[in-house]
């Protein structure tokens, strides 16, 4: 048979403190100054939409030079292990770099390859389009410095298996003087990835 429990306070075991108060309008007050509340994986934080459940950052440890090649070379492979299955994960890359070419073409091709057994693998710029760098119409060569903020797609998780983002760079010219230097010093001051998980 249905029943109703009507209370205004819930006290601790020692009957000394009112741990939880319930007002007449249904508002609940947790009286501890800094309470620890643990929610299960299926708990909803809001009536609609997604809520941030975790944020973490991974730094590139050292500089990575890519030269004398037009192949896509992996320069950074940050990983993230989701806390929840059925969540949305977003990778946001902060890329600090230097580049040079003594020919007219100093453009590069940047790819973000997201892979893992708990997501549908996807590669941003899978068509290998040149999407960073410069072109010199004066034929004297190009030297550049850059700082990119590149966001990947929202990844839907089907498990808590680790996700890897392989950051790949390719030169369009095969020469030692045509290079892309990805800067990293194991801090958030240079190249790093921010992972955000929503549920």
Residue 35 host element (H or E)? none
Q: How far apart are CA 78 and CA 163, in angstroms?
A: 9
The pLDDT of residue 124 is 95
* Residue 134's CATH number: 2.60.120
> Which residues does the chain have with pLDDT short of 50?
none
The pLDDT of residue 36 is 72
User: Containing domain of residue 121, as a range?
Assistant: 52-198
**Domain assignment present for 4:** no
What total number of domains does the chain contain? 1
**Domain assignment present for 13:** no
pTM: 0.77
The pLDDT of residue 42 is 67
**Domain assignment present for 93:** yes
The pLDDT of residue 165 is 98
Q: Report the Cα 116 to chain-centroid distance in Å.
A: 14
**Domain assignment present for 45:** no
The pLDDT of residue 104 is 74
Residue 29 CB partners (closer than 8 Å, separation 6+): 20, 21, 22, 23
Tokens of 10: 């819930």
The pLDDT of residue 91 is 98
């Amino acid at each position: 048979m249905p029943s109703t429990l009507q209370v205004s306070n819930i006290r601790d075991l020692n009957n000394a403190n009112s741990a939880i108060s319930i007002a007449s309008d249904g508002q609940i007050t947790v009286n501890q100054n800094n309470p620890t509340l643990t929610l299960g994986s299926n708990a909803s934080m809001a009536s609609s939409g997604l809520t941030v459940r975790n944020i973490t950052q991974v730094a590139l440890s050292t500089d990575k030079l890519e030269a004398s090649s037009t192949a896509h070379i992996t320069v950074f492979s940050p990983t993230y292990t989701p806390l929840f299955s059925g969540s949305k994960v977003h990778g946001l890359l902060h890329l600090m770099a230097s580049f040079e070419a003594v020919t007219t073409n100093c453009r590069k091709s940047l790819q973000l390859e997201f892979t893992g057994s708990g997501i549908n693998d996807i590669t941003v710029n899978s068509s290998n389009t040149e999407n960073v760098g410069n072109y010199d119409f004066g034929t004297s060569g190009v030297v550049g410095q850059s700082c990119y903020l590149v966001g990947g797609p929202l990844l839907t998780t089907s498990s808590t298996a680790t996700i890897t983002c392989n950051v790949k760079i390719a030169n369009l010219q095969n020469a030692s003087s045509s290079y892309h230097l990805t800067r990293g010093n194991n801090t958030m001051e240079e190249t790093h990835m921010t992972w955000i998980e929503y549920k």
